[in-house]
Amino acid sequence: MNLARRLLLWASTNAWLRERAMRTRFVRLSVRKFMPGEQINDAIEAAVRLQPSGVNAIFTKLGENLAELTEAEQVYAHYLKVLERIKETGISGEISIKPTQLGYDQDREICFDYCMKIMKACEAQGTLFWIDMEGSLYTQGTIDLFTRLRAHSECVGIAIQAYLHRTDADLEALAALGSKIRMVKGAYLEPADVAFPDKSTVNEQFVKNCMRLLRPDADRPGALLHIATHDTNIQDRLLAHVAEHGIEKRRYEFAMLYGINSQRQLHLAARGERVRCLVAYGEYWFPWYMRRLAERPANIGFVLRNALKR
Ligand SMILES: Cc1cc2nc3c(=O)[nH]c(=O)nc-3n(C[C@H](O)[C@H](O)[C@H](O)COP(=O)(O)OP(=O)(O)OC[C@H]3O[C@@H](n4cnc5c(N)ncnc54)[C@H](O)[C@@H]3O)c2cc1C
């Protein structure tokens, strides 16, 4: 892993930097590249603009590692409001949360209860409830949370990180359950005994994991693969794979982030692929933004250009 990426991932966890950066105008301007705004209405409006081109949405309010359990109630209430807004506007929108945004650090049972209630509300509305994957200290707990929820509904999905050594085994168990899985490469700073440090190995793991989930024995009730990458080379390899094996489109969907390779999102939708854009919004954007910069340190050039424009 290169030094710039390491530094940015370290910065993502630094409270001192967070406090200062979030008040700095050029940083606030730069984050707009990846986020239509801080309010849910900004995110909904972005999704409404995207929908005619066939790109559907997933909404996530930024936030993680709550300081107080009481904040989880507000997050829960917020997501119910998001579901109402989705219904009012008639867009196809799903929800994605982080367990630590719903009190996982403070009380796992309460976190489970909130997830259960949001999942049931999603089910009633005919949409999906996704669980993001955080750092490796949370992997097992997040999979356990998903498995408990999955026992009650098919409307739940989980993000799984290709960079983890444990992922091949996790996927076997999850595929047997009939699971909705969002395959991602992984966005956190992890030690080499937990995650593959080498990018080309992670890329190969990602392709292998997606192909595993597209095999006939993974086609169970409730299963779905989200191919969540901006890597066009990998997308093309997987498109060639589905064409070669006659894999039905109902089994997979492409998922990408708002503001990244937007032309590609439109291009995939125009060629008839199912595409979802994850639209993030909210006031607590610093750690998430640092992880986006770390994915492509060239993005720092964009931040610096905004600084010079001040
Ligand atoms: C829908 C979605 C949900 C996600 N959920 C999670 C999650 O729950 N847990 C988790 O750990 N990670 C999550 N991620 C992030 C993921 O782990 C990767 O860190 C991220 O997607 C970057 O890897 P990549 O696969 O896009 O490819 P990379 O190999 O990093 O990049 C390939 C190409 O994509 C473009 N690109 C990628 N990132 C950026 C960027 N930030 N800015 C500009 N261009 C870029 C560039 O052209 C780059 O050359 C999610 C990603 C997506 C798309």
Residue whose Cα lies nearest atom 41 of ligand 1: it is 292
Give which of 73, 102, 70, 96 is closest to 83, Cα–Cα: 96
In the block, which residue shows the tokens 């292998």? 208
Residues labelled catalytic: 132, 182
CB-ligand 1 contact for 8 (6 Å cutoff): no
Kindly state if the Cβ of 211 falls inside 6 Å of ligand 1. no
Structure tokens at 185: 């490469």
- Those residues whose C-beta lies under 8 Å from the C-beta of residue 168, and which sit 6 or more positions away, are 205, 208, 209, 212
Ligand 1 pocket test, pick from 131, 184, 199 with the greatest ligand atom count within 8 Å of Cβ, gives 184
Integer Cα distance of 132 and 119 in angstroms? 14
**Mutational test site, ligand 1, from 289, 295, 299, max ligand atoms within 8 Å of CB:** 295
Residue 88's pLDDT is what? 96
The pTM for the full model equals 0.93
Distance from C-alpha of 78 to C-alpha of 84, rounded to nearest angstrom: 10
Handedness of CA 223, 80, 285, 73 (dihedral sign): negative
pLDDT score for 307: 62
Q: What is the distance in A from the centroid of ligand 1 to the CA of 136?
A: 17
pLDDT at 32: 78
For residue 148, give both structure tokens: 């408990």
Sign of dihedral through CA atoms 114, 116, 119, 121? negative
Rounded to the nearest angstrom, the distance between the alpha carbon of 243 and the centre of ligand 1 is 24
Verify whether ligand 1 is closer than 6 Å to residue 13 (CB atom): no
Does the beta carbon of 230 sit less than 6 angstroms from any atom of ligand 1? yes
pLDDT of 34 reads: 86
DSSP string, the chain: --HHHHHHHHHTT-HHHHHHHTT-HHHHHHHTTT-S-SSHHHHHHHHHHHGGGTEEEEEEE---S-SSTHHHHHHHHHHHHHHHHHHHHT--EEEEE-GGGGTTTT-HHHHHHHHHHHHHHHHHHT--EEE---SGGGHHHHHHHHHHHHTT-SSEEEEEETTBTTHHHHHHHHHHH--EEEEE---S---TTTB---HHHHHHHHHHHHHHHTSGGG--TT-EEEEE---HHHHHHHHHHHHHHT--GGGEEEEEETTSSHHHHHHHHHTT--EEEEEEESS--HHHHHHHHHH-TTHHHHHHHHHHH-
Structure tokens at 24: 């700095």
Residue nearest to atom 17 of ligand 1 (CA): 186
Which tokens go with 161? 């990180």
Q: Is 185 in the pocket of ligand 1 (CB under 6 A)?
A: yes
For residue 217, what are its two tokens? 């024995």
Ligand 1 atom 38 nearest Cα = 295
- pLDDT for res 90: 96
Give CA–CA dist 34/142, Å, rounded. 26
Return the pLDDT at 271: 96
In a mutational test of the pocket of ligand 1, which residue from 5, 230, 257 has the highest number of ligand atoms less than 8 Å from its CB?
230
Q: Kindly list the structural domains of the chain, giving each domain's residue range(s) and its CATH number in brackets, ordered by start.
A: 36-284 (3.20.20.220)
164 lines ligand 1 (CB under 6 A): no
Q: Supply the residue whose CA is at minimum distance from atom 5 of ligand 1.
A: 132
Cβ of residue 97 lying under 6 Å from some atom of ligand 1: no
**Residue 308: predicted pLDDT:** 62
Query: For position 235, what pLDDT does the model report?
Result: 98
Regions of the chain with pLDDT less than 50? none
Instruction: Give dist(CA 95, CA 99) in Å, integer.
Output: 13
Alpha carbons 157 and 198: distance in angstroms, whole number:
27
- Look up residue 92 and give its two tokens: 């196809």
